[in-house]
Amino acid sequence: MKFAKDFKSPDPVPQEGIEQAIKLMQTGRMYRYNFNAEFHEEDADLSLLDDREIASEVTKLEYEFSRYLGYKYAVAVNSCGSALFLALKAAGVQHEDKVFTNGFTFTAVPSSIVHAGGIPVYVECNSNYIIDLEDLRHKIAANPDAKYFILSHMRGHIAEMDEIKAICDEAGIYLIEDCAHSLGAKWDGKHVGHHGKIACFSSQSYKMLNSGEGGFVVTNDEKAAAYCILGAGCYEKLYKKHLARPFNDEIFEELKPTVPGFSLRMNNLTAAVIRPQINKLEAKVAQYRKRYDRLIGLLESVDRIRIPNPPQKCDRAPSSIQFNLLNLSTKQVERFVKETAVRGVKIAIFGRLDNARYFKNWRYSFTEMPDLKQTDEIISCACDLRISLSFSLEDIDTLASIVKEVLQNIVDEAEQEKLLVSKV
């Protein structure tokens, strides 16, 4: 039995987005500020979005995205990494300021900290792939001068957000949420991202929104929003062409001379392919959850596999599954990966020197290897397996059968070897 579907196949762009992108190319109006209309507070009306000649695709996307998530302000940029960088600068990070972040995340997160001039301080993860609260408290006590925290919801695994917010509030720490993997996830019935002062989202190909590359900064803080609008590359009085912005022009005029333009803008082509995906998000999340739940149901009782349990208040939006292989040697883990791959199932191990999610590969961010023994142990046998909407439920069944069969064969052979040794 072999799995025949492509694990790297991203979700397609709706036809409406393709057609609008073609129209934009025909007019040449791909730059977000190619449209003339300026907006004031009384203009914040959904009916304006129906007139494609009034506002650019990016302006309309920012408005729709902010309303979907329940934020006042949104800034669309060229990647989530750029969004995180802008969030840090808006928060006030200066050269060599310490910034707490996950020891288990993607390289874009520490890269954004380094880009902003900061120094990452890594916090251990626990067996559920989320921030270890005890280590967070320890790191805060050991670094009283650190006043910023990018909390990464790595692979959509959401930490104990109420407790984290309380810890940050007590210590005076500015919390930024990296929601690249958690668009559509809920905490206590509300979209993830509202515990921090700023949240950042992604529309890279393997996220819930697919534009190839793209990102968003969202916030309810008008000064942070104004900074991010200016920092993304808004100059002179172009901020008036933003609809999901603070309608306090004085803030922009005060900040403008002090904020560098980093040229991180999203363009209208990118926005055009994203916009029709937003009203399909809830249905899309439900489809992913259906496949995820099916796979979980088939694997959760398997000996030698541990699947993390999310906090009770969390309703995840998973587009991949992670699980730990238990009581296997490094050699057996490698064999598991190779043999599942031969049968068409592509599994990655996070704790490997060819994986950008392994902290030992982030040498640009430290002079001494961080002491993250717990994280290292957990991710050394943590499996990462993408789920695609192109997978039918029957495909999910096949995928699970291959995982179980390969693992069982490895375990059985080990048991037989032990038996032979004992007889000798």
Distance of CA 145 to the CA centre of its chain: 27
Decide: 32 and 56 in contact? Cβ < 8 Å. Answer: yes
In Å, what is the CA distance from 293 to each residue of 189, 212, 298? 19, 27, 9
Structure token digits, residue 201: 């989202």
Residue 289 pLDDT more than 80?
A: yes
Residue 48 pLDDT > 80: no
SS3 42: helix
Instruction: Give the angle 195-197-203 at the CA atoms, nearest 5°.
Output: 85
Helix-helix angle 268-278:57-69, to 10 degrees: 40
What does pLDDT average to over the chain? 95
CB-based contact 118:148 (threshold 8 Å): yes
Percentage of residues in the chain having pLDDT higher than 90 = 91
pLDDT value at 37 more than 90: no
DSSP designation for 279: T
Cα–Cα distance, 296 to 283 (Å, whole number): 20
Class of domain 15-278: alpha beta
Spans of all domains in the chain: 15-278, 281-423
Confidence label for 166 from pLDDT (cuts 50, 70 and 90): very high
Burial of 182 from C-beta contacts in 10 A (0-12 / 13-18 / 19+): buried
Reported in sequence order, the residue ranges of 39-173 that DSSP labels E, i.e. its strands, are 73-77, 98-102, 119-123, 148-152
Structure tokens at 142: 């050991």
Q: Letter for the amino acid at 287?
A: Q
Distances (CA, A) of 141 to 95, 149, 244, 298, 411: 21, 14, 38, 42, 44
Report the distance separating Cα 234 and Cα 262, nearest Å. 9
Q: pLDDT-derived band of residue 45, with 50, 70 and 90 as boundaries? A: low
Predicted local distance difference test score (pLDDT) of residue 36: 80
The CA–CA distances, whole Å, from 99 to 160, 193, 372 equal 19, 18, 16
pLDDT bracket for residue 299 (50, 70, 90): very high
192 has pLDDT over 90: yes
Mean pLDDT of the region 70-77: 98
| Separation of alpha carbons 106 and 84, rounded Å | 12
288 within 8 A of 319, measured Cβ to Cβ: yes
Give counts: helices (H), strands (E), the chain: 13, 14
**pLDDT range class, residue 423, cuts 50, 70, 90:** low
At 178, is the secondary structure helix, strand, or coil?
strand
| CATH code, residues 281-423 | 3.90.1150.10
Who wins on pLDDT, 47 or 363? 363
**Arithmetic mean of pLDDT, 101-114:** 98
pTM above 0.85, yes or no: yes
Task: DSSP letter for 354, please.
Answer: T
Q: Is the pLDDT of residue 44 over 80?
A: no
Percent of the chain with pLDDT over 70: 96
